[in-house]
Structure 1
């Protein structure tokens, strides 16, 4: 992988964020059952980093046996 950046058209950002959110929710369905939480954590971290590059972030929390709940919000980098 390289550190090259791509330009994402503004009209595509919402679609990409929805794809990221959907993947996080999918991970949440098997997060406890599959015994691979470390790999899942790495993937969630990478997905959140992609969203941050688009100006947003996700708050991910457990819903117990129902998986994850995800809240999207604008990303503000730490100063």
Structure 2
């Protein structure tokens, strides 16, 4: 199954007009972005940088971002030293 993608010999893909394949790929990308934004929201809730975790989840994978976020846990604010 080629998902409607063909290669032109130079290395650039082009669509063959298969609408089902186009819709499937668009839904997969939309789901990827939705999950990445959910990881950004979770980062905000845990006190971490939204932009960094959003970019991390978009570049790599939202599931890896979720696993790393779960391992790191909530960011703890440093306590001032009292003498």
TM-score (norm 1): 0.34
Q: Which has a greater percent of strand?
A: 1
Q: Which has a greater percent of helix?
A: 2
Q: Which has the higher contact order (CA 8 A, sep 6+)?
A: 1
TM-score (norm 2): 0.33
Structure showing greater Rg: 2
